[in-house]
Amino acid sequence: MELSPMRGRAALILDSPMDIGIVVLIALILFGGKKIPELMRGVGQGIREFRNGMRDDFHSPAQTTQAPPPSAPASTPATEEKK
């Protein structure tokens, strides 16, 4: 008996147009028709910013500068009051 690698895990597999249609319908019900373009615009901007950031990091390597270690705070001797 062969065990499936996804056994015991929840998997979202969209392998047919019907599955994708159901997901789109649920999103439409949850967010409404006016909110979906705003959400997609935000997703698109996020992907674009991520790509630009990756491209900038690739073209200009990060300079490693080491900051000096923080100095230890001045310690004062602890005194206990005796009663």
Q: What predicted TM-score, i.e. pTM, was given to this entire model?
A: 0.42
Instruction: Give the residue carrying structure tokens 């100095």.
Output: 71
Q: Which residues contact 14 (CB under 8 A, 6 or more apart)?
A: 20, 23
Residue 49, in any domain of the structure: yes
Token readout for 3 is: 């065990």
Q: How many domains does one find in the chain? A: 1
| Structural domain boundaries, residue 43 | 33-61
Q: What is the DSSP letter of 21?
A: H
Amino acid at 26: I
Residue 67, in any domain of the structure: no
Residue 71 pLDDT greater than 90, yes or no:
no
pLDDT tens-digit profile of 1-36? 455 555 555 566 777 889 888 988 998 898 888 888
**Segment 55-62 mean pLDDT:** 72
Residue 27, in any domain of the structure: no
